[in-house]
Each structure stands twice: as structure tokens, then as C-alpha cells.
Chains A and B, each alone.
Chain A
């Protein structure tokens, strides 16, 4: 089955710096890769996603890149702000397969220092 590894587990940056979180997946059939942000005590919130037919996607300060050959994808946050502090989860899914479940990484706790 699919396995998703996420690094680093914790990341501390100064406000205004960039943050990069990396994930690798094992199942080459995976074709959908969302990123979720989870603040303490709240639900996971989708912040960006990418499909396997696209190499990069941007949404304001957030971007995601996908390398299908290497089976890894990354989240890039530029000009970080204190409100970006949260736990970020990557996930992979084989949409259209027999199971539509998301397999999550273990999360990255991002701290943005003012």
C-alpha cells in the first residue's frame, strides 16, 4: 500500500523567511496530492493540492511542486507570517482506484517567530 514520509517534523523560521516541507510517496499510482494546515484544536484545512498531470501550482504565498519520477512533492511558503504557525500535513491518494482514501504524512510543526 501507499506510504508517505514527511520531513522535517518541526521547522522554525523567522517572519518573512521561506519555509519548505518535503514529502515522498511510494505508490506510483497515486495521482492526487493535497496539503492540509491544522491549527491546534481545529480541523485540517485544505490549503493547496496538485494532481499528477501538473508539475507546479501556486496560490499567492503558497506553492506546491511535484516530481513524479522521484515520487516526491514539496510545499513552499514564502514571506511567512506568525499566522502560518500550525501543523502541516501532506497526503497522497489514488483517485479513481478501489479506495479513495488519503494517506497522510506524520506532519510538520511550523513555528514562525515574529
Chain B
């Protein structure tokens, strides 16, 4: 198993609410990437943080936002939740001695009702 952790493991929200998901990167890694994985699909890139700065963003609306802290942990915030936001949210850490190799956390399963 990787040293990447995520919280919470599961979350149920209603449409229009806001949610914050958290990720702790593996020791020695300075980069965190967030992905959305819908059921039966491959992970889709949301954005990446490198040393507390956003380093690229996928095709997701501005209501998806994030930040990275000095200890390289990260948060993903989603405002105005929609039913289609129901998915598994994965973070992956990389950098340092691992270079480009991304190691995934266990994910947060979000259900929007």
C-alpha cells in the first residue's frame, strides 16, 4: 500500500451543497494530483498542485477548487454540488525521489442526492 491517505472514505451530500475532501501525500512527495473516477470509467484529471501552486487543470468548472498546504497535503473543494458529481475522488502524490510516478490514495466515494 502507498502512504497516501484520504478522508473521508464516504460522503453523502445533497444537490447544491458544498464538500471538502482531504489528501495527505506520501512522505517526500511535493505534488498532489486530483482525479474524478465515475463508475466504470478511467480517472479524469481535475488539477494538480506543486509546492502549493496549481500546476495544471483539466476540463472541470471553477466550482472545483483546491489548495495545497506547506506540508504538501491538499484539499479539493466542490461548490454547488450536482448529481453528476457523484463519483470516486482520487488523489495521487508524486515528486521527490519518485519523480513522475503517481501513487494513489484509497479515494473518497461521494454520492450526491
Which residues of A does B touch, CB under 8 Å?
6, 32, 34, 36, 42-46, 49, 89, 91, 93, 95, 98-107
Task: Pick out which of these stretches binds chain A: B66-74, B76-84, B94-102.
Answer: B94-102
5 example contacts (A-B, Cβ-Cβ < 8 A) are as follows A32-B100, A34-B101, A46-B102, A100-B33, A106-B41
Residue of A nearest to B107 (CB): A43
Is the pair A46, B56 in contact by a Cβ cutoff of 8 Å? Answer: no
Asked whether any CB of chain A lies closer than 8 Å to the CB of B90, the reply is: yes
Interchain CA distance A44-B102 in the complex, whole Å: 10
Is the pair A34, B102 in contact by a Cβ cutoff of 8 Å? Answer: yes
Is the pair B102, A104 in contact by a Cβ cutoff of 8 Å? Answer: no
Total number of B residues with any Cβ neighbor in A under 8 Å: 28
Given A93-B100, A101-B58, A105-B42, list of 12 further CB < 8 A pairs? A45-B104, A98-B55, A98-B56, A99-B56, A100-B48, A100-B50, A100-B55, A100-B56, A101-B45, A101-B56, A103-B45, A104-B43
B2, B43, B99: residue with the most chain A Cβ atoms closer than 10 Å: B43
Residues in chain B near residue A45, CB distance under 8 A = 104
Residue of A nearest to B31 (CB): A100
Residue of B nearest to A6 (CB): B42
Interchain CA distance A86-B23 in the complex, whole Å: 25
Residues in chain B near residue A102, CB distance under 8 A = 33, 35, 43, 45, 92, 102
